[in-house]
Amino acid sequence: MPHSNRLANEKSPYLLQHAHNPVDWRPWGADAFETARRENKPIFLSVGYSTCHWCHVMERESFENQGIAEILNREFVPVKVDREERPDVDRIYMTFVQATTGGGGWPMSVWLTPDLKPFFGGTYFPPEPRFGQPGFASVLTQIAAAWKSDREQILDSAGEVVEQLKAHLEVAPLAGPLGSAIDAGILDSGFYAFRRSFDSSRGGFSAAPKFPRPSVHNFLLRHYVRTKNEEALEMVLATLRAMARGGIDDQLGGGFHRYSVDDHWFVPHFEKMLYDQAQLAASYIEAFQITGDPQFAGTARRTLDYLLRDMASGGFYSAEDADSAPDPAHPESKREGAFYVWEAGEIRAVVLDPAADWFCYRDGVEDQGNVASDPHGEFAGRNILHQAHSIEETARQFGRREDEVRAALLQAGRLLLEARSHRPRPHLDDKILTAWNGLAISAFARAGAALNEPVYLEAARTAADFLLARMYDAGSGALLRRWRQGEAAIPGFLEDYAFLAQGLLDLYETEFDLQRLETATRLTEKQIELFEDGALGGFFGSSDPALLMRIKEDYDGAEPSGNSVAAMNLLRLARMWNREDFQKSAERTLAAFAPRLAAAPAALPQMLAACEFLLGEPREVVLVGERGGADTAALVGTLHARFSPNRVALLVDSPETRRKLAATAPGIESMRQIDGRASAYVCRRYACQAPVFEAEKLAELIQ
């Protein structure tokens, strides 16, 4: 039997990957903290996630090394944290590492006093000195010696660092009313910040490496709607087109890889994350609603179809690894991207000529491989598929009809996808996270409505039902974060409440089941109870009393911050229910982050999107008609065919629904069908225009 440590009883795939290390790992919790205090040892905190490439490297090099394990076990209390299960722990100590080293990433390595105060940190350490970095064994030995000889100085220094971090992380409003803090000037500043960073040649908002950041798209598209600034729209469309052509988009199976290591979206880091798929699918749907370009709809479909095919099980799994073994007989031969790359001969063995020639031309396949810069030789002789040429260019190159080439390329893609399915797959992180599933529910609901695709709506309903049945206590309103192998665990964080509430709001506005709206409202009320800073505004990320400090997250990165999504939810719910308490909570949140928005608007594009909603005179669209009826469906279809972000939609389909909605929005009481037909009332603060029942007239009113 292999050696097991205390992680063997955990559910996290990341923790279980380390369950047989010789390191005496403990999960984050009271047992580890008490041991550190009792033995007066520092804690070595290692944070990562199961699909993290360098986490695998450090495990193989150091945590499976018996000599290094002996030092860790003797001198420290080693603690492992899955950052996806405990984002609150990760954010605290990542802030420390970034502040003290100028960088961050995973694996994250931090040394803590027994009372959880950090005093030294970094990311990946090689086992011996390498790449200009000290060896991990040497670092451990030096820190252990310093703890024994200079403990008081370390404790004093750690205390000072914590106070500095608290001051640095404080979020509080400036004096004065909200109107003086949030205005169109901040939104214009945000636009110009992204305009300055935009890569007009290749799309995106940075140099290499290029990370998708869908919150930027969300803001710029809403800025375009309010201002009619075509530049804001074109920056997003150019970025989405470039990503869809690049190797970052899985050209065979759909779905986006985590980022590209180059500046033109070609060579990806091959990991796939649920939160990327969900947010990017929504971006492509919005681009389709604005432009009507079917290519945007097609990319969204391929992304969502990937999730349904490979990541769905009631809810949606979290991620797929970048690494896999090209030879199933030798699992130790794992390398990055092995599942996705192709030798030219492999393609020609599956696809017959002339279609093989067409496919290789279209997807940039070369006999010697197409990755010119490959310092580690990972892609020698292999090809990353990308849209090197359009179908039109391919047809001209070979003198064939476009429809013939298009059909042949589709069939070639199907054959290659089938062949690829027999390769050893990358590791699947099969935990189901509430927050990320909330993003997926939004994407499937909005895509289902915009594309009139019942399969996507059913996927949204299924995921919502899965979470509410297993992760939500309807009596208390409390939410859990993670489900795996029959177990729901970990009290939900702000992002779990906010992202799931957003998903339920989007689902409500597509199918109009009032229970979805009521549950989103209850989640938001519980979120306020658990996380809101009633004095200074905004929301803390966690309610765990054992944490070193509580943080109000103020960055919309790969995922939007919980505060940004919470602010938008509150503004939407305030309009839906005519609830002033939700409006005030949203305004307090925006006021709390106003100094950050003014100083660095590009840090919070999702919150800028909420500000666009606030300043955009949002409308309430109240439909009165039979749910599922043909005339009601025509009006609903009109709502979703167009990108109209500054509105909320409600359906009055029964006396009971009318009674519930009218309890806080009295204007709804008098709304009726006109001439027995489903009718739409377009209102601002429930001051409504004359009702209409023609889809064309509704389109005019909401445009």
Structurally, how many domains does the chain consist of? 3
- Model confidence at 176: pLDDT above 70: no
How does DSSP classify residue 8?
A: G
**Is 464 within 8 Å of 523 (Cβ atoms)?**
no
395 within a domain of the structure (yes/no): yes
196 within a domain of the structure (yes/no): no
**Residue 511, both tokens:** 């199918």
Tell me the average pLDDT across 365-383.
Answer: 87
The enclosing H or E element of 624 equals strand 619-624
pLDDT band at 429 (very low <50, low <70, confident <90, very high): very high
Tell me the pLDDT tens digit for each residue of 240-255. Answer: 999 999 999 999 999 9
Domain end: 151, 169, 187, which one? 169
- Model confidence at 179: pLDDT above 60: no
Nearest CA to 691 out of 620, 622, 645, 619 is that of 622
Encode 479-520 in three state secondary structure: EEEEEECCEEEEECCHHHHHHHHHHHHHHHHHHCCHHHHHHH
Nearest CA to 507 out of 560, 544, 538, 463 is that of 463
**Residue 122, both tokens:** 């970094």
* Long-range pairs of 412-419 with CB within 8 A, sequence gap ≥ 24: 412/350, 412/351, 412/355, 412/356, 412/358, 412/359, 413/251, 413/252, 413/359, 415/350, 415/351, 416/252, 416/342, 416/347, 416/350, 416/351, 416/359, 417/252, 417/253, 419/346, 419/350
Tell me the pLDDT tens digit for each residue of 67-109. Answer: 999 999 999 999 999 999 999 999 999 999 999 999 999 999 9
Domain end: 422, 446, 468, which one? 422
**Is 573 within 8 Å of 649 (Cβ atoms)?**
no
407 within a domain of the structure (yes/no): yes
pLDDT band at 325 (very low <50, low <70, confident <90, very high): confident
Question: What is the overall mean pLDDT for the chain?
Answer: 95
- For residue 549, count CB atoms less than 10 angstroms from its CB and return exposed for 0-12, middle for 13-18, buried for 19 or more: middle
Q: How far apart are CA 82 and CA 504, in angstroms?
A: 27
- What pTM did the predictor assign? 0.96
pLDDT value of residue 373? 75
pLDDT value of residue 287? 98
Tell me the pLDDT tens digit for each residue of 20-57. Answer: 999 999 999 999 999 999 999 999 999 999 999 999 99
Strand bridging mode 26-27 / 77-82: parallel
Q: How far apart are CA 70 and CA 327, in angstroms?
A: 34
536 within a domain of the structure (yes/no): no
Tell me the average pLDDT across 405-409.
Answer: 98
Q: How far apart are CA 204 and CA 212, in angstroms?
A: 8
pLDDT value of residue 193? 97
How does DSSP classify residue 292?
A: -
234 within a domain of the structure (yes/no): no
- Please state, as a whole number, how many other Cβ atoms lie within 10 Å of the Cβ of residue 25: 25
Q: What domain range is 150 assigned to?
A: 6-169
Alpha-carbon separation of residue 458 from 9, 245, 522 (angstroms): 35, 29, 23
Q: How far apart are CA 109 and CA 45, in angstroms?
A: 6
Domain end: 118, 143, 169, which one? 169
249 within a domain of the structure (yes/no): no
677 within a domain of the structure (yes/no): yes
Tell me the average pLDDT across 309-317.
Answer: 97
Tell me the average pLDDT across 282-307.
Answer: 98
366 within a domain of the structure (yes/no): yes
**Listing from the earlier edge strand, what are the strands of the sheet with 118-122?**
26-27, 77-82, 43-48, 108-112, 118-122
pLDDT band at 327 (very low <50, low <70, confident <90, very high): confident
Dihedral sign computed on CA atoms, order 213, 214, 218, 224: positive
**Is 503 within 8 Å of 442 (Cβ atoms)?**
yes
